[in-house]
Amino acid sequence: MTYNVLPGGGLAIQHTQVFRPADIDLKQSSSSSYIRTIPELIEFNAKINPNALYCVQALKPRDGETTKAEQVTMLQLRNAIWQCSDDLRGCFSGLDDSNVSSSDQAHVKPDPVALVMDSDIGLLIHLFSLLSMGVPAIQLSARLNPASIQHLLTTLKAQAVITSPRHVDTGKAAFETTSLEYGRGGTKIQVARAFEDYLSDSKEGKADAADAKICWPRHFVGDSDRNVIILHTSGTTGLPKPVYQSHKMLLGYACCHRRTETEDVEGLNLSMLPLYHGFGLVVACLALGIGKPILLPPPHEISTACSTVALLRKHKAKSFTTVPYILEEISKLPDDEGIAPLKVLQYVACGGGPLSVATGDQLVEKGVKLLNHFGSTETGPLGPFMVPGKGYDWHYWPLRNDVHVNVEPSGIDEASGQQYYQLSVTPFGWTEPFVLQDRFLRDTQSSTPAFRAVGRQDDLLVLVNGMKVQPKALESIVSDSNLVKAALAFGEGEFEIGLLLEPSQPVEDMQKFKTAIWPLVQKACRQMDSHAQVSSLAHLVVLGPGESLPRSDKGSVLRKEAYQQYERRIRRVYSNEDSERSVQTVSKPGNGHLEDTIGAMIRGEMQLTQPLEPDDDFFELGVNSLQVIRIQRGIIAIVKESHGLLPKEKITADLVYKHPTINKLCQILRGHTLFNINGEETLIDDYVSRFSLSQEQNGLTILLTGSTGSLGSYLLSHLVTLPQVTEVVCFARSSRRYDDVPASLVKQHVEAAEQKGATIPSDLRSKVAVLQGNPTAARFGLTSGAYEGLCSKITHIMHAAWPVDFQRPLESFESQFGFLQGLLQLARDVRTKRPLLKPRLLFVSSIAVVGKYPMIYGSHTVPEEVITDPRCTSLGYGKAKLVCERILAKAADDWPLEMEVSFVRAGQLSGDEGSGYWNAKEHLPTLIKISHESRVFPRLDGTLSWLPVDVAARSMVELLFSSGPMKLAYHVENPIRQDWMAVMSEIAKELGHKPSCFVEFEEWTRLINQRGSTDNDSDSGLLTDFLGKEFQHMSDGDIVLDTSRARKVSKILRNAQSVSSQTIAKYVQAWREVGLLL
Q: What is the mean pLDDT of the chain?
A: 83
Which residue spans within 707-809 are E strands per DSSP?
725-733, 768-773, 796-799
**Distance between CA atoms of residues 977 and 972, nearest Å:** 13
- Residue 873 pLDDT > 90, yes or no? no
Average pLDDT, integer, range 764-772? 91
- Give the max Cα distance, the chain: 121
- Residue 1017 pLDDT > 80, yes or no? no
pLDDT at 49: 94
Collect all residues with Cβ–Cβ distance below 8 Å to 1 and sequence separation of at least 6.
14, 15, 16, 18, 264, 266
Average pLDDT, integer, range 450-462? 78
Give the chain's length: 1078
Angle subtended at Cα 572 by Cα 570 and Cα 575, rounded to the nearest 5 degrees: 125
| Residue pLDDT, tens place only, 140-192 | 987 787 888 888 998 898 888 999 888 887 777 776 644 444 433 467 788 88
**Distance between CA atoms of residues 97 and 464, nearest Å:** 44
pLDDT at 127: 97
Place 200 in a pLDDT band, splitting at 50, 70 and 90: confident
pLDDT at 11: 42
- Residue 138 pLDDT > 80, yes or no? yes
Judge if pTM exceeds 0.95: no
What domains appear along the chain, each with residue ranges and CATH number? 19-91+111-375 (3.40.50.12780), 471-574 (3.30.300.30), 594-691 (1.10.1200.10), 802-1073 (3.40.50.720)
User: Can you give 90-120 as a three-state secondary structure string?
Assistant: CCCCCCCCCCCCCCCCCCCCCCCEEEECCCC
Q: Would you say 729 and 771 are in contact if contact means Cβ atoms under 8 Å apart? A: yes
- Residue 541 pLDDT > 80, yes or no? yes
pLDDT at 650: 80
* Residue 762 DSSP label: G
pLDDT at 583: 43
**Distance between CA atoms of residues 146 and 180, nearest Å:** 12
- Residue 725 pLDDT > 90, yes or no? yes
Average pLDDT, integer, range 6-15? 40
Q: Would you say 296 and 120 are in contact if contact means Cβ atoms under 8 Å apart? A: yes
pLDDT at 462: 81
Angle subtended at Cα 828 by Cα 822 and Cα 834, rounded to the nearest 5 degrees: 135
Report for 602-616, 905-919, 1012-1026: range of highest mean pLDDT: 905-919
pLDDT at 1073: 87
pLDDT at 60: 79
pLDDT at 1027: 61
Higher pLDDT, 32 or 731: 731
pLDDT at 719: 96
Amino acid of residue 466: G
- Residue 114 pLDDT > 70, yes or no? yes
% helix, strand, coil for the chain, step of 5: 40, 15, 45
- Residue 701 pLDDT > 60, yes or no? yes
pLDDT at 907: 92
pLDDT at 304: 85
Helices (H) and strands (E) in the chain, counts: 37, 43
Per-position b or e across 700-735, b if 16+ CB within 10 A of its CB = bbbbbbbbbbbbbbbbbbbbbebeebbbbbbbbebe
pLDDT at 1: 38
**Distance between CA atoms of residues 275 and 142, nearest Å:** 10
Q: Would you say 156 and 229 are in contact if contact means Cβ atoms under 8 Å apart? A: no
**Distance between CA atoms of residues 853 and 864, nearest Å:** 13
With pLDDT > 90 as the criterion, what percentage of the chain qualifies?
41
- Residue 16 pLDDT > 70, yes or no? no
| Residue pLDDT, tens place only, 841-867 | 999 999 999 988 888 888 888 999 998
**Distance between CA atoms of residues 810 and 311, nearest Å:** 60
| Residue pLDDT, tens place only, 365-384 | 999 999 999 999 999 999 99
**Distance between CA atoms of residues 755 and 746, nearest Å:** 14
Average pLDDT, integer, range 943-955? 93
| Residue pLDDT, tens place only, 741-762 | 566 788 888 988 998 989 898 8
Average pLDDT, integer, range 786-790? 90
pLDDT at 337: 87
Report for 493-497, 678-682, 1032-1036, 1046-1050: range of highest mean pLDDT: 1046-1050
Report for 546-555, 603-612, 793-802, 1020-1029: range of highest mean pLDDT: 793-802
- Residue 103 pLDDT > 60, yes or no? no
Q: Would you say 270 and 321 are in contact if contact means Cβ atoms under 8 Å apart? A: yes
pLDDT at 113: 93
Average pLDDT, integer, range 496-513? 90
pLDDT at 238: 61
Q: Are strands 404-412 and 900-906 parallel, antiparallel or unpaired?
A: unpaired
| Residue pLDDT, tens place only, 898-931 | 999 999 999 999 999 989 999 888 888 988 998 9
Average pLDDT, integer, range 376-402? 93
- Residue 346 pLDDT > 80, yes or no? yes
Place 29 in a pLDDT band, splitting at 50, 70 and 90: confident
pLDDT at 741: 54
* Residue 5 DSSP label: P
pLDDT at 210: 55
**Distance between CA atoms of residues 719 and 711, nearest Å:** 12
- Residue 582 pLDDT > 50, yes or no? no
Average pLDDT, integer, range 1044-1062? 91
Q: Are strands 700-705 and 725-733 parallel, antiparallel or unpaired?
A: parallel
- Residue 1004 pLDDT > 60, yes or no? yes
pLDDT at 106: 56
Place 678 in a pLDDT band, splitting at 50, 70 and 90: very low
